[in-house]
Amino acid sequence: MSKGSTSDDSLRVDRRVAGPAVVLHVVGEIDMSTAPMLAEECDQAIESAPGRLVVDLSDVTFFGSAGLAVLLDASQRGERAGVQVRLVADGRPVLRSIEIAGVQEMLPVYPDLAGALA
């Protein structure tokens, strides 16, 4: 299992390989200032993913529109690269943003990591 981590004061992204997937575990706030870090992590994960990228947002405390844009872009890039992008989210900040934007069809959301990896 390969691991890595990127962080600043507001956001931490831990990366690991779990079977056929790269998992990004995101902790903290995703806003205009931290979204570029998440975008870079998603880019690297899509390049190295064996077939699936799982972005675990269960520990995200704030999820702004910049974060949503990053994930939509990652989903589109993943599709072009043959990498399935799945999200893990069970909290209001992430789920509400996805619901309001009406992008549930483009961003498959699972309530837990086990479901997203299955």
Any bridge partners for residue 88, and if so which? Answer: 56, 110
3-state secondary structure (DSSP) of residue 115:
helix
Q: Which long-range contacts (CB under 8 A, 24 or more apart) does 8-11 make?
A: 8/34, 8/37, 10/34, 11/37, 11/38
DSSP state of 87: E
Q: In this structure, are residues 50 and 84 in contact, taking their beta carbons and an 8 Å threshold?
A: no
pLDDT at 5 over 90: no
| Tens digits of residue pLDDT in 57-104 | 999 999 999 999 999 999 999 999 999 999 999 989 999 999 999 999
Question: Is the pTM of the predicted complex or chain greater than 0.85?
Answer: yes
Mean pLDDT score of the chain? 94
Sheet holding 109-110, edge to edge: 3-7, 11-18, 21-30, 52-63, 84-88, 109-110
Which of 34-57 are b and which e, b meaning 16 or more Cβ less than 10 Å from the residue's Cβ? bbebbbebbeebbeebeebbbbbb
Instruction: Give me the percent of the chain exceeding a pLDDT of 70.
Output: 94
So what's the pLDDT on residue 90?
94
Mean pLDDT, residues 12-33: 96
Instruction: Report residue 49's pLDDT band, with 50, 70 and 90 as the boundaries.
Output: confident
pLDDT at 36 over 60: yes
Structural domains of the chain, ranges and CATH numbers in brackets:
3-113 (3.30.750.24)
